[in-house]
């Protein structure tokens, strides 16, 4: 998704904006640009280009911009192809106002028609350009701030914008209506950005703009108003991540770094939420009263992509431990179906970014029906966390790789802990039983570490299979969602068609796919469904497909069926999704690497999907 950064202060803006764009690269983009207000000439200068930020950097090296107020943007095309003309910033007719936009302007066509009739000259095919011409039209005997407000009221869709004007060269204006935008507060300088990594090097004091809020920044002041101009009293949050956490730290890719961070995250999360001495589970930001949670009759999980798969594992966990009937929906379906929810439903929204448009829309629908919303989220202060009644953070640190890895296992940990918490509160499990579960859960970080020690073996196995044209992933019971997640990881970063299936469904269709050209990943740890998985593997074996098994150390049966086995240490089957996820992620990573794919920024994908 598009990335925005804006700067006003006493330093040269170009390097700050360029650096910010690089930090936002993880969001996915196809072109970029920058506009600076050249104060001596009181003029706006622009550099734009298609392709990577390095292309913009190259352009700026040849034709640098000088100035201390500016905006920059990385674009992920929605309207108009990714080229230089369609790249942001966009200018008004007179070249006095520049604007960048993240989101979609849904009613741009009728507005554009009207503006053209009035004589406005459009240069791009974007929906964004309408906004700048509207501001231009309304910027008459009034302030920029007022013109922006009036323009935004005429628009439909989702927006985060940043605007500068030569007529008010001491102002940087930002507004948010549905797409994320934050304000960074510095000393004699202030920032706007789509996400914190863009500005963390310069300030850790962040103000999260809410829906329909505007920031009016000068170098030494920050005013927040609503769209009627009413001043709002908001306080900054001090971010505890440092930029190091968002860097690669010597790993070849963010994804590999993030895979390797999982044991540490698992250990920290359990230590953070579970008292070592008493085993009491408490979540700091979980504000839904225990009395309320005791009385819920059902749970509905809403999420997209990997977070949805975490929700599917969550269903197994919640139903077996807390005995609460649980349904799981992808957000894009959830938001449009007839939801039979009421005050007795707890909606759990799962999202790494907390900005996923469909998930937010689902949450809003559920709230309309009186349900309480608890979110499982990684990004502090994100829209989802602000709109939820309670939050359980995943504390995984910034996840930069587009393919979600560490956020997934952290979401699973949150589900386990929530289930134990609910089981205790609702008195469906005795504390002794919960204590036993926690003993097992505390072992998982070490087991994950053991799996990561075998990375080179997994990499070799992956390379041996990187030529296969299609993959099938099979699992059963609590590892059925693991199969879905394994397939998603592989397809999104290697572009190999991959399907995840419940192994028991094999005979109902997918078995027709099996032949010697197929690679089939069978998730087969020791479990109550082990024998069933072995029967499936035998069927696949006799059809000569290439089987990759993920099995428990010491499993001799599996060796007779395939030589390609990734062994994992023995682990309680209930927690096995936390372990099998790692070899699945590594398999996808090394296959994609071997095929020369851009692992961290796969084609067509964005890290956070802020439009429908
Ligand atoms: C996973 O690897 C993805 N790239 C994608 O499916 C992601 O999980 C999905 O878009 C949801 O994002 P969220 O967790 O930020 O809501």
Interval 237-247: pLDDT, tens: 888 776 766 56
What confidence score (pLDDT) does residue 286 get? 87
Protein residue with least CA distance to atom 9, ligand 1: 305
CA-wise closest residue to 235 among 256, 209, 253: 209
Residue 239 CA, ligand 1 centroid: distance in Å:
23
The whole-chain average pLDDT of the chain stands at 93
Q: Which residues form the pocket of ligand 1, taking CB atoms under 6 Å from any ligand atom?
A: 304-307, 351-353, 356, 359, 402-404, 492, 605, 608-609
Protein residue with least CA distance to atom 2, ligand 1: 403
Protein residue with least CA distance to atom 5, ligand 1: 305
Measured at the CA of 231, the angle between CA 235 and CA 73, to 5 degrees, comes to: 70
206 φ/ψ angles, rounded to the nearest 5 degrees: -115, 140
Active site residue 522: no
Protein residue with least CA distance to atom 7, ligand 1: 305
Active site residue 368: no
pTM equals 0.76
Low-confidence ranges of the chain (pLDDT < 70): 1, 28, 242, 244-247, 249-250
Report d(CA 503, CA 275) in Å as an integer.
Answer: 38
What confidence score (pLDDT) does residue 104 get? 80
Contact 289, 280 (CB under 8 A): no
- Among 137, 204, 315, 607, the one annotated catalytic: 607
Mutate which of 179, 253, 258, 304 for ligand 1? The one with the most ligand atoms within 8 Å of its CB, which is: 304
Provide the 3-class DSSP secondary structure of residue 24. coil
The 10 Å CB-count burial string (b at 16+, else e) for 360-377 is: bbbbebbbeeebbbbbbb
What confidence score (pLDDT) does residue 248 get? 73
What confidence score (pLDDT) does residue 30 get? 82
389 DSSP assignment: S
- Among 2, 304, 522, 597, the one annotated catalytic: 2
CA-wise closest residue to 175 among 223, 129, 127: 223
Q: Which atom of ligand 1 is nearest to the CA of 359?
A: 16
Report d(CA 174, CA 159) in Å as an integer.
Answer: 10
Q: Hey, what are 45's tokens?
A: 């200068």
What confidence score (pLDDT) does residue 1 get? 67
What confidence score (pLDDT) does residue 76 get? 79
Quickly count: other Cβ atoms within 10 Å of residue 581's Cβ. Answer: 30
Residue 404 CA, ligand 1 centroid: distance in Å:
6
């Amino acid at each position: 998704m598009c990335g925005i950064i804006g700067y006003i202060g006493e330093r040269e803006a170009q390097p700050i904006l360029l650096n910010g764009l690089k930090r936002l690269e993880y969001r996915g983009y196809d072109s970029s640009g920058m506009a600076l207000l050249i104060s001596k000439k009181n003029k706006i200068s622009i550099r734009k280009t298609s392709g990577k930020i390095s292309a913009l950097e190259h352009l700026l090296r040849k034709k640098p911009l000088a100035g201390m107020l500016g905006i920059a943007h990385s674009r992920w095309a929605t309207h108009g192809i990714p080229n230089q003309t369609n790249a942001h910033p966009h200018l008004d007719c007179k070249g006095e106002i520049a604007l960048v936009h993240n989101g979609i302007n849904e009613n741009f066509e009728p507005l554009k028609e009207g503006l053209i009739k009035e004589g406005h000259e459009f240069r791009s095919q974007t929906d964004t350009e309408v906004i700048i011409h509207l501001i231009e039209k309304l910027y008459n005997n009034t302030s920029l701030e007022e013109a922006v407000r009036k323009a935004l009221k005429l628009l439909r869709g989702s927006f985060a914008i940043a605007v500068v004007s030569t007529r008010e060269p001491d102002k940087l204006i930002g507004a948010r209506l549905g797409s994320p935008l934050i304000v960074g507060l510095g000393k004699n300088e202030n920032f706007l950005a789509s996400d914190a990594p863009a500005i963390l090097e310069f300030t850790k004091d962040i103000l999260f703009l809410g829906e329909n809020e505007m920031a009016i920044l000068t170098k030494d002041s920050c005013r927040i108003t609503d769209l009627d101009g009413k001043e709002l009293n908001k306080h900054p949050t001090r971010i505890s991540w440092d930029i190091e956490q968002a860097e690669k730290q010597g790993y070849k890719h963010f994804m590999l770094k993030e895979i390797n961070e999982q044991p540490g995250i698992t250990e920290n999360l359990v230590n953070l939420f579970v008292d070592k001495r008493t085993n009491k589970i408490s979540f700091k930001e979980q504000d839904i009263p225990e009395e309320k949670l005791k009385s819920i009759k059902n749970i509905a999980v809403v999420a997209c992509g990997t977070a949805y798969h975490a929700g599917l594992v969550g269903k197994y966990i919640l139903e077996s431990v807390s005995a609460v009937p649980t349904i799981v929906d992808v957000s894009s379906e959830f938001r449009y179906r007839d939801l039979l929810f009421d005050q007795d439903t707890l909606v759990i929204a799962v999202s790494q970014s907390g900005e996923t448009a469909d998930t937010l829309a689902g949450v809003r629908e559920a709230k309309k029906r009186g349900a309480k919303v608890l979110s499982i989220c990684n990004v502090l202060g994100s829209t989802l966390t602000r709109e939820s009644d309670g939050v359980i953070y995943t504390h995984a640190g910034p996840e930069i790789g587009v393919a979600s890895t560490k956020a997934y296992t952290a979401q699973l940990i949150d589900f386990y802990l929530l289930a134990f918490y609910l089981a205790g509160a609702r008195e469906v499990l005795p504390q002794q039983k919960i204590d036993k579960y926690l003993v097992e859960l505390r072992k998982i970080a070490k087991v994950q570490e053991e799996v990561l020690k075998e990375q080179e073996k997994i990499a070799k196995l992956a390379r041996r299979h990187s030529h296969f044209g299609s993959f099938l992933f099979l699992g059963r019971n609590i590892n059925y969602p693991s199969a879905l997640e394994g397939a998603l990881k592989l397809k999104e970063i290697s572009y190999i068609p991959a399907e995840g299936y419940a192994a028991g469904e094999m005979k109902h269709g997918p078995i027709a796919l099996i032949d010697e050209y197929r690679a089939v990943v069978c998730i087969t740890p020791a479990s109550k469904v082990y024998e069933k998985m072995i029967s499936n593997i035998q069927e696949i074996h006799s059809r000569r497909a290439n089987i990759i098994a993920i099995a428990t150390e010491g499993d001799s049966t599996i060796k007779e069926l395939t030589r390609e086995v990734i062994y994992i240490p023995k682990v309680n089957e209930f927690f096995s999704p936390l372990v099998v996820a790692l070899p699945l992620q590594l398999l996808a990573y090394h296959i994609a690497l071997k095929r020369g794919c851009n692992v961290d920024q796969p084609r067509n994908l964005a890290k956070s999907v802020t439009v429908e």
